[in-house]
Amino acid sequence: MKLSILIIWLCLCLPPTLMAESELSCQDLQELADVLDDVVDVLNKTEVDAIRNDRVFDQRLGELIDALIALADIEENGRLSNNVEEMAEIWDAEGAWKRSEWNNFRRALDGAINSFERIRYKDCARD
């Protein structure tokens, strides 16, 4: 049930301007932060097999990775880029999740979130 709710959330909440703009608003960054929080919550509570077998969630996770890659490019942030590239290498368009790489994916996600939060703080702390 929680996984289905997250799928709907990801469909509705990924900032549409992320892929099109060269600068993001604080609202866009907050929306992405909310999506990341929800993704982490679901990933902490969901078995790898459930994720691997849910094609819609798998696709949305790929879109989230694409959004983070775009953000890393916009911000010219090498640390975020490295973490997201590691996430992308573990996740692929075929959904070939491997149990042995699950901890590496989560570690890269944690690093990406830390880099993202630094960007958000730098760009939006005064708002």
Vertex 116 angle, CA 42 and 99, to 5°:
40
Q: How far is CA 41 from its chain centroid?
A: 12
Query: Would you list the domain boundaries of the chain?
Result: 2-7+22-124
Q: What pLDDT shows up at residue 40?
A: 82
pTM of the predicted model, to two decimals?
0.75
Query: CB under 8 Å to 119, separation ≥6 — which residues?
Result: 29, 71, 75, 77, 80
Q: So what's the pLDDT on residue 43?
A: 78
pLDDT (0 to 100) of residue 81: 95
* Mean pLDDT per 10-residue interval, the chain, length 127 residues: 45 50 77 85 73 71 86 92 90 60 85 94 80
Whether the CB-CB separation of 115 and 80 falls below 8 Å is answered with yes
